[in-house]
């Protein structure tokens, strides 16, 4: 799952980015609402949710939310605020935000809210998803293969989720990289391949047809 943080408090944003990455998210961060507006308009299909601060110099979080909604961006938006007043909360929701969280907050609470808002689109995303003999719990972030628990690294889990959500569809190398790694990551040409080799071995199960197929020069797909 890929998130973008928009916050001009450098220390807070960098710490939040690191903590979310430790939980398995790919995270981009921008300190300017103006830059974030352009980035999100260009790459909105690459993100699953936006986390932005209410109080920023220049365009603030509420104004950015309104601009994004005016541009028909439907990405879930969570606003971070230090103001717990009811009037502020109402204004944030009326601006187009899907949720808000009052500082200080725990990363686990923020993750719970992220998981909640991404299940709210017109086609809700289920908590448990399956493809062939693979079942994923997207809240506990666990997987079973033929009803046996299989431990995955954070990146392996993120990659597998892409395939399980769209079994049988060819996913290009670019699509997978954009979903699992952030813009600032140094993704060498063979990093994806190395992760895919490991993932193949871990989901292999005797007597099952579920497997990954390499589409030479394009990417991969999950066959069930």
pLDDT band at 94; cut points 50, 70, 90: confident
Axis crossing angle, helix 61-70 with helix 86-94, rounded to the nearest 10:
20
Is 123 a residue whose pLDDT tops 70? no
Mean pLDDT of the chain: 89
User: What does the pLDDT read at residue 139?
Assistant: 77
Least confident of 85-89, 188-192, 197-201: 188-192
Helix (H) or strand (E) holding 220: strand 219-223
Average pLDDT over residues 89-108: 91
Contact 100, 78 (CB under 8 A): yes
Query: Per-residue pLDDT for 81 more than 90?
Result: yes
Q: pTM above 0.75? A: no
């Amino acid at each position: 799952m890929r998130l973008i943080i928009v916050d001009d408090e450098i220390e807070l944003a960098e710490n939040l980015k690191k903590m979310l990455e430790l939980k398995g998210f790919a995270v981009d961060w921008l300190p300017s609402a103006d830059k974030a507006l352009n980035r999100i308009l260009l790459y909105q299909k690459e993100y699953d949710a936006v986390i932005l601060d209410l109080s920023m110099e220049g365009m603030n979080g509420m104004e950015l939310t309104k601009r994004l909604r005016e541009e028909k961006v439907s990405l879930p938006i969570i606003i971070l605020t230090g103001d717990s007043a009811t009037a502020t909360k109402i204004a944030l929701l009326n601006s187009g935000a899907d949720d808000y969280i009052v500082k200080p907050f725990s990363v686990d609470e923020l993750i719970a809210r992220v998981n909640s808002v991404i299940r709210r689109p017109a086609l809700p995303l289920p908590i448990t998803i399956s493809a062939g003999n693979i079942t994923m719990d997207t809240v506990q972030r666990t997987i079973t293969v033929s009803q046996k628990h299989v431990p995955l690294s954070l990146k392996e889990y993120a990659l597998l989720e892409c395939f399980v959500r769209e079994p049988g569809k060819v996913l290009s190398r670019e699509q997978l990289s954009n979903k699992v790694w952030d813009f600032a990551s140094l993704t060498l040409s063979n990093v994806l391949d190395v992760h895919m080799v490991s993932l193949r071995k871990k989901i292999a199960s005797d007597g099952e047809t579920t497997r990954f197929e390499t589409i030479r020069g394009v990417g991969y797909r999950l066959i069930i």
